[in-house]
Amino acid sequence: MTASSRRTTESSAGTRPGGGPVPLPTPKFASAARSALADTGLRRNLRGATAEARARTSAATAEAADWDALREAGRAIGDATLLNLDVHLEELERGVTGAGGVVHWAVDAAEAREVVTGLVRASGAKEVVKASSATLREIGLDAALARAGVTAYETAIADLVVGVGGDEPSHLLSPALHRDRAEIAELFRRTLPAAADLGDDPAGLAAAARAHLRDRLLRARVAVTGANFLVAETGTPVVLESEGNARMCLSLPDTLITVAGIDKVVPAWADLEVFLQLLPRAAGAGPMTPYAASWPGVTPGDGPRAFHLVLVDNGRTRALADEVGRAALRCVRCSACVNVCPVYERTGGRAYGPVYPGPIGAILTPQLRGVESAADASLPYASTLCGACADVCPVKIDIPGVLVHLRGAVVESRRRRPVPTPELALMRGLAWTMGDARRYETALRRSTRWARLLSRGGRIRRLPGLLGKWTEARDLPAPPAESFRAWWARRRP
Amino acid sequence: MTGGGSRAEVLRRVREALGGSRGTSPPVPRGYDRTLPEAEAATRADVVALFSERVAANRAAVRHVSADELGTAVAAALWGREVKQIVVPADLPYGWLAELEGVRALADAPALDAEALGAVDGVVTGCAAAVARTGTVILDGGRAQGRRALTAVPGYHLCVVHADQIVGTVPEAVRRLDPSRPLTWISGPSATHAIEMVRVEGGHGPLHLEILVVED
């Protein structure tokens, strides 16, 4: 890690997404997960919904006979893109500009917010519609717009649920996953003017959300969206969606502002043939999502008269600098890894922090923000390393490999501290003990004696002190009365 | 417009991050299907049949008609949905609507405003291409397709596909399309997974999609 990449994180640390100017302390993963683990209703929702999503993804991927060839192509295109990212970004800029669009660059979340807020202010609009995008959440756009006197309306149904529920999204593609239909019905009855006697049938709930958002979508003058891909060769953003709110955002308002990370670049138009197959199937949307839209800058007589593309770094170049970790930038945000993760299935999305949940969040967030804070440093440990995520990833990101690599980075970053962490002190003690045969044997004899004193019926239920964390969730078998070394020494005098 | 400072800074960071590996191009293996394998569709008729099967799997309605039945089929579809008022692209072939009775068709010339568009029940268009393997129709704003908002707002979309517009796979479609036009790939009616990840038809776009395949 270079000095300049550390500087990057420090400057963006003060602009934590959603937190406004004063960052709220985020709890470590383990403590943040505690309340979710104790909530049986939430765990039931998560179990049901992730099982549903997993079944759809595996059906869609099993159906494509060339799935592995597609994944391999997706991986290779992703790697080749990153290694030439500067060239592709400049090509993208030329393409968008040539088609009547304007490209803006933002080094961090604060600058991205400033650019978008400035554009909205210049348009004179007092409200904007948004098509759900993790990048918009990442840069904390809503709060910035609110400070500028502009109301931002989410237009995806799940985002509406999160909005009226006043909580944080818990999944990339289905942000209201933590709520079941009865809770959503209750929320809608309480908050939507025309929904006082709504039942809890999902179709009825979707219809109520549609009716509630329709006028807003029809009268909006400015839309802010994300993008799934940015084709460099042709200067074309691409958006995939199911509900149709993004299509309305892309075609009805006068001004369209699209905010996307610099990692969304795809080199050539023909490369879309790979990603338009990978993303829908991995996301469990079947062979194709209901809608995919691409547009070149401004088209006279069709859609917005002004198009702005905001390219956001916000830590991505920091991730790019890490040869192992940069694989995370290949991510196409399909959520397949989230839906198969046994940890996510039990903790839900909110323990992972504000934006990217699940295994991909556990490798992306610490790289975008650095591992200096306790919350970000805890994320690479939020995994059992079972590897299910790597098996389903459509662009073959070795998530467990990157997790282990980042755990190494966390340990390294703590080595510099004046007071060692308990883990480091313990490891140093062990290294000293094991560095000498006699010290080791003495320590072994003593700890065996103590351990046998602590055991009941051949098992140790609770270890003393910090070691007790290990026995919080499991028993330790008592060591045998005679160690192998002692037995060996006795056998051959 | 943001200053060139940030542009230069982002590009500088990218170059610095990549260091010596910048500019290398690892090979991209493209072993996936570019066209439909023989086993999946040996003849043109198989491709068209696969398209219809996939459209139905996407929960859209699909019917096959001959060219001279098209006018009647369009009218029958609209009556079946009890559609009273539709919007159509100004260059929709006249014959498609020739049999229409009791349905008011508004041509999008001059362009309808959003409120007027929100008030119509349906839209009738053609398409630029269609994909058999995914059951997708693709609109590019060309002949008989109109601007994007026409098919994004009304609750019902009737799309006419000529059999020779159907290609087998996504790669074939991508290569046939013009990226300098606004493109919309449509695979079924609007849907949402917002509630318990259960698929429900009916987000914001058309709740019903109906496709007429014109066989030559």
Q: Which residues of A touch B200 (CB under 8 A)?
A: 202-203, 206
How do B85-88 and B122-125 pair as beta strands? parallel
Q: Which residues of A touch B170 (CB under 8 A)?
A: 273, 276-277, 288
Distance from CA of A161 to the nearest CA of B (A): 9
Has residue B12 been placed in a domain?
A: no
Q: Tokens 């996939």 map to which residue?
A: B54
Confidence band for A383, pLDDT divided at 50, 70 and 90: very high
Pairwise CB contact (< 8 Å): B175 & A270: yes
Residues A163 and A185: beta-carbon distance below 8 Å:
no
More confident residue, B151 or A36: B151
Would you list the domain boundaries of chain A? 425-491
Distance from CA of A176 to the nearest CA of B (A): 6
Has residue B136 been placed in a domain?
A: yes
Number of A to B CB contacts under 8 A, please give it.
288
Question: What average pLDDT does the segment A412-441 reach?
Answer: 87
Q: Which residues of B touch A301 (CB under 8 A)?
A: 111, 147
Query: pLDDT value at position A472?
Result: 83
The gap between the terminal CA atoms of chain B, to the nearest Å, is 52
Query: pLDDT value at position A493?
Result: 64
Distance from CA of A8 to the nearest CA of B (A): 10
List, in order, residues 6 or more apart from A394 with CB less than 8 Å away: A70, A71, A74, A278, A279, A281, A282, A332, A334, A336
Distance from CA of B68 to the nearest CA of A (A): 30
Q: Is the pLDDT of residue A484 over 90?
A: no
Q: Which residues of A touch B23 (CB under 8 A)?
A: 83-84, 87
The predicted-structure confidence for A286-312, as pLDDT tens digits, reads as follows: 999 999 999 999 999 999 999 999 999
Chain A residue with Cα closest to B8: A105
Chain A residue with Cα closest to B12: A86
Pairwise CB contact (< 8 Å): A86 & B18: yes
Q: Which residue in the set B17, B170, B194 is minimally distant from A276, CB to CB?
A: B170
**Burial grade of B163 (CB within 10 A; 0-12, 13-18, 19 or more):** middle
Q: Which of A128-142, A236-250, A253-267 has the lowest mean pLDDT?
A: A128-142
Query: pLDDT value at position B172?
Result: 97
CATH of the domain at B63: 3.40.50.10420
Distance from CA of A132 to the nearest CA of B (A): 12
Query: pLDDT value at position A8?
Result: 35
Pairwise CB contact (< 8 Å): A302 & B148: yes
> What pTM, to 2 d.p., does this model score?
0.90
- Taking the CB of residue A254, how many other CB atoms lie within 10 A of it? 14
Tell which of B195, B196, B208 to mutate to test the A interface (max A CBs under 10 Å): B195
Q: Is the dihedral of CA B64, B66, B71, B72 positive or negative?
A: negative
Chain A residue with Cα closest to B16: A321
Pairwise CB contact (< 8 Å): B32 & A274: yes
What CA–CA distance (Å, rounded) separates A44 from A311? 39
Pairwise CB contact (< 8 Å): B149 & A251: yes
Q: Total domain count for chain B?
A: 1
Q: Which residues of A touch B38 (CB under 8 A)?
A: none
Question: What average pLDDT does the segment B80-103 reach?
Answer: 94
The predicted-structure confidence for B41-81, as pLDDT tens digits, reads as follows: 889 999 999 999 999 999 999 999 999 999 999 999 999 99
Q: What is this model's ipTM?
A: 0.96
Tell me the residue range of the domain where B166 lies.
Answer: 40-215
Give the pair of three-digit tokens for residue B56: 């139905």
Distance of CA A201 to the CA centre of its chain: 30
Q: Which residue in the set A49, A106, A270 is minimally distant from B197, CB to CB?
A: A49
Q: Which of A105-114, A205-214, A229-238, A273-282 has the lowest mean pLDDT?
A: A205-214
Query: What's chain A's average pLDDT?
Result: 90
Give percent of chain A with pLDDT exceeding 70. 95
The predicted-structure confidence for A86-108, as pLDDT tens digits, reads as follows: 999 999 999 999 999 999 999 99
> 3-state SS of chain A?
CCHHHHHHHHHHHCCCCCCCCCCCCCCCHHHHHHHHHHCHHHHHHHHHHHHHHHHHHHHHHHHCCCHHHHHHHHHHHHHHHHHCHHHHHHHHHHHHHHCCCEEEEECCHHHHHHHHHHHHHHHCCCEEEECCCHHHHHCCHHHHHHHCCCEEEECCHHHHHHHHHCCCCCCCCCCCCCCCHHHHHHHHHHHCCCCCCCCCCHHHHHHHHHHHHHHHHHHCCEEEECCCEEECCCCEEEEEECCCHHHHHHHCCCEEEEEEEHHHEECCHHHHHHHHHHHHHHCCCCCCCCEEEECCCCECCECCCEEEEEEECCCHHHHHCCCCHHHHHHCCCCCHHHHHCHHHHHHCCHHHCCCCCHHHHHHHHHHHHCCCCHHHHHHHHCCCCCCHHHHHCCCCCCHHHHHHHHHHHHHHHHHCCCCCCHHHHHHHHHHHHHCCHHHHHHHHHHHHHHHHHHCECCEECCCCHHHHHHHHCCCEECCCCCCHHHHHHHHCC
Query: pLDDT value at position A196?
Result: 80
The predicted-structure confidence for A175-229, as pLDDT tens digits, reads as follows: 888 889 999 999 999 988 887 888 889 999 999 999 999 999 999 999 999 999 9
Question: What average pLDDT does the segment B128-151 reach?
Answer: 97
Give percent of chain A with pLDDT exceeding 90. 66
Pairwise CB contact (< 8 Å): B13 & A70: no
Has residue B82 been placed in a domain?
A: yes
The predicted-structure confidence for A318-366, as pLDDT tens digits, reads as follows: 999 999 999 999 999 999 999 999 999 999 998 898 789 999 999 999 9
Query: pLDDT value at position B3?
Result: 58
Query: What's chain B's average pLDDT?
Result: 94
Q: Is the pLDDT of residue A14 over 70?
A: no
Query: pLDDT value at position A6?
Result: 35
Q: Is the pLDDT of residue A18 over 60?
A: no
